[in-house]
């Protein structure tokens, strides 16, 4: 009887000890897990369609041969459109090749589904390939015109603020920085160009060289004249504020003359819309009832005679 009690007691103590050890071990593990940083579940990397498209176009652009003569002109156009990436020319060539091939394949697919004639299909595929080839260049020209128009629209106000900054005692470099900061929301394009001029001067370029780069980079005639005025002012040591104020007045006069020219052309431009859109409806309203009355009353009288 004593031996059985001893065995039962030994087993009980052993079970309690094992349970306590397991509990303490689990408590320590839970404490470590609470202190340790949580690991997020690793998900497989899925590239976005934009990244896939960019990588595809870059590779196609690297494979497409480009003309060395047209490359400087293309880079200059890309700069004027606002694309300053080193691989912008390669990306543009890739986009041009991809749009050409996509237009041809799309036309062939439509022709196969529509059961077009083979000669017509080849003719339309050639036209689609030509349009797909020139579409990126037309978009680039459109972007250049919009950017130049934005610069022309913001240049008079930027020049007025530049005059105020120079007359308040700031130098030309500090005034350019201040104009770029103040007009960032209203005219971001011209402020971006002014900030780039400041960065070029900080990098070690001379002021004349940075201003010439500004004129060449934008391609805006009014900005080229402003750069010429600033270079002459810096060379001959004349008053910058007076030169800027005179050029600002010149820009205001030119803007007013351009607006008057557009207003004078308005009468000629309205001839065709009036002739093809307004006059037909006016004839319907005025002559329509008379014609219906003639058809209803006069023609029966003529037939009865």
Any residues with CB less than 8 A from the CB of 65 and at least 6 apart, and which? none
Summarised one tens digit per residue, pLDDT across range 258-287 is: 889 988 888 888 888 888 888 888 878 888
Domain of residue 221, CATH code: 1.20.81
Confidence bin at 143 (pLDDT 50/70/90)? very high
CA distance 157 to 222: 13
**Residue-level pLDDT at 144:** 93
In a domain, 282, yes or no: no
pTM above 0.85, yes or no: no
Domain that holds residue 157: 148-265
Q: Are residues 152 and 59 in the same domain?
A: no
Cα-flanking dihedrals φ and ψ of residue 240, to 5°? -70, -40
Rounded to an integer, what distance in angstroms lies between the CA atom of residue 116 and that of residue 111? 5
CB 190 within 8 Å of CB 156: no
Residue 101 has pLDDT above 90, yes or no: no
Mean pLDDT of the chain: 80
Cβ contacts of residue 200 below 8 Å, gap of 6+?
209, 210, 213
- The token duo for 221 is 């005639």
Instruction: Judge whether residue 19 has pLDDT over 70.
Output: no
Average pLDDT on 23-31 reads: 60
Within a domain: residue 201? yes
Number of domains in the chain: 2
Q: Do 140 and 153 share a domain, yes or no?
A: no
**Which of 40-54, 160-174, 218-232, 278-292 is least confident?**
40-54
DSSP string across 50-85? HHHHHHHHHHHHHHS---TTHHHHHHHHHHHHT---
Q: Are residue 206 and residue 257 in the same domain, yes or no?
A: yes
Among 145, 163, 178, give the residue marking a domain's end.
Answer: 145
Same domain, 96 and 198: no
Confidence of residue 82 (pLDDT cuts 50, 70, 90): confident
272 is written with which tokens? 């065709």
Whole-number pLDDT of residue 138: 92
What's the pLDDT at 147?
92
Question: What are 163-203's pLDDT values in tens digits?
Answer: 888 888 888 888 888 888 888 888 889 888 888 988 888 88
153 & 141 share domain: no
Q: Decide which of 145, 175, 197 is a domain's last residue.
A: 145
């Amino acid at each position: 009887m004593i031996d059985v009690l001893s065995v039962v007691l030994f087993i009980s103590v052993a079970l309690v000890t094992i349970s306590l050890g397991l509990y303490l071990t689990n408590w320590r593990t839970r404490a470590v897990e609470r202190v340790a940083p949580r690991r997020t579940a690793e998900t497989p990397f899925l590239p976005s369609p934009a990244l896939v498209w960019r990588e595809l176009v870059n590779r196609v652009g690297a494979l497409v041969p480009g003309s060395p003569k047209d490359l400087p002109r293309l880079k200059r156009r890309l700069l004027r459109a606002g694309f300053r990436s080193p691989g912008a020319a390669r990306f543009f060539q890739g986009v041009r090749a991809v749009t050409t091939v996509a237009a041809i394949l799309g036309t062939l697919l439509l022709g196969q589904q529509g059961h077009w004639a083979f000669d017509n299909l080849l003719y339309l595929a050639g036209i689609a390939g030509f349009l797909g080839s020139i579409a990126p260049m037309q978009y680039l020209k459109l972007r250049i015109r919009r950017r130049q128009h934005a610069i022309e629209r913001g240049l008079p106000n930027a020049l007025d603020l530049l005059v105020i900054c120079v007359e308040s005692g700031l130098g030309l470099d500090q005034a350019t920085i201040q104009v770029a900061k103040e007009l960032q929301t209203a005219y971001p394009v011209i402020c971006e160009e002014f900030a780039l001029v400041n960065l070029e001067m900080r990098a070690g370029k001379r002021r004349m060289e940075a201003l010439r780069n500004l004129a060449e980079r934008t391609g805006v005639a009014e900005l080229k004249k402003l750069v010429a005025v600033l270079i002459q002012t810096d060379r001959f040591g004349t008053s910058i504020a007076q030169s800027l104020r005179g050029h600002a007045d010149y820009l205001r006069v030119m803007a007013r003359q351009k607006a008057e020219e557009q207003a004078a052309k308005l009468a000629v431009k309205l001839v065709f819309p009036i002739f093809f859109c307004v006059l037909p409806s006016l004839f319907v309203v005025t002559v329509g009832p008379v014609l219906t009355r003639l058809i209803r009353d006069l023609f029966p009288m003529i037939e009865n005679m």
